[in-house]
Amino acid sequence: MGLKVYVDRMSQPSRAVLIFCKVNGIEFDEVKIDISKGQQRSPEYAEINPMKNVPAIVDGRFKLFESHAILVYLACAFPGVAEHWYPGDLSRRAKIDSVLHWHHSSLRSGAAPYVFNAKLAPLFGLRVNPHVAVQAKTLLIDSLAKIETIWLKGKGRFLLGSSQPSIADLSLVCEIMQLELLDEEDRNQILGPHKKVQQWIEDTRHATRPHFDEMHSVLFKVKEKLAKMSAEGGTAKTHAGNKNQMLSKM
Residues near a copy of itself (CB under 8 A) are: 50-51, 62, 64-70, 72-73, 76-77, 90-91, 94-95, 97-98, 100-102, 104-105, 108-109, 129, 131-132, 146, 149-150
Task: For the CB of residue 167, give the shortest distance to a copy of itself in the complex, in Å.
Answer: 12
Measured CA angle at 147 (ends 94, 227), to 5 deg: 125
Radius of gyration of the chain (CA): 18
**Residue 184 burial class via C-beta count within 10 angstroms: exposed 0-12, middle 13-18, buried 19 and up:** exposed
Contacts of residue 123, Cβ cutoff 8 Å, sequence gap at least 6: 226, 229, 230, 235, 236
Distance in Å, CB of 45 to a copy of itself, minimum: 14
For a copy of itself, the closer CB: 109 or 198 = 109
Residue 190 Cβ, how far from a copy of itself at the closest point, in Å?
A: 20
Task: Report, in Å, the least distance between residue 196 CB and a copy of itself.
Answer: 15
Query: Closest approach of Cβ 237 to a copy of itself, in Å?
Result: 25
For residue 249, what is the DSSP state?
A: T
Helices of type H across the chain: 12-23, 43-48, 67-77, 90-103, 109-115, 121-123, 130-146, 167-177, 184-191, 195-207, 211-233, 240-247
d(CA 17, CA 13): 6
- When the beta carbons of 82 and 150 are compared against a copy of itself, the nearer one is 150
Shortest distance, position 150 Cβ to a copy of itself, whole Å: 5
Of 189, 211, 166, nearest to 74 (Cα)? Answer: 166
User: What does residue 61 show for φ and ψ, rounded to 5 degrees?
Assistant: -105, 5
| CB nearer a copy of itself, residue 102 or residue 124 | 102
